Amino acid sequence: MVAEYVKGIMQKGITNFAKALKRPNDEVQLLISWNAEESKPKFRKMVVDMPHQDITFNDVLGVKFDILNRGEIVNAFITQTMQTYSEELECDKEQLFILIALTEDAEGYDELKLHVFKGNEKIKELELEQLLT
């Protein structure tokens, strides 16, 4: 249930960013990395042929204030996943990145894709459920 909810948030966030920039959905991606200073995940909006921009989870949600505290809930899941992968890959969390993108499936629907990177190396594709467990 949480995974489907977060999937909707991520899809809507990417779609809204693309619409605001008048770009196709597949030209906008979200990158999650580790902010060691604040000990929490940080988000970055990446658009083809544009500078990357650090954003907050509220930006992804499209709200000024997260009165339901969804960001903290999602951050806890992401933190645990990054910790698990840092142990599995024997690296610091700062070396890990999770890339979230929308791609079109065979029926023409947007499908959320997640990939784990260690530095520049793509390690594996994730299901959203794996990120939120």
Model confidence over 54-83: pLDDT tens digits? 999 999 988 888 888 888 888 888 888 889
What pLDDT shows up at residue 2?
65
Query: What is the distance between the alpha carbons of residues 54 and 3, in angstroms, rounded to a whole number?
Result: 23
Number of domain units in the chain: 1
Which residue range(s) make up the domain with 67?
2-131
Tokens coding 47: 């658009």
Q: How far apart are CA 29 and CA 18, in angstroms?
A: 9
Total-model pTM: 0.87
Backbone angles phi, psi at 41, to 5 degrees: -65, 150
Would you say how long the chain is, in residues?
A: 133
State the CB neighbour count (10 A cutoff) for residue 112. Answer: 17
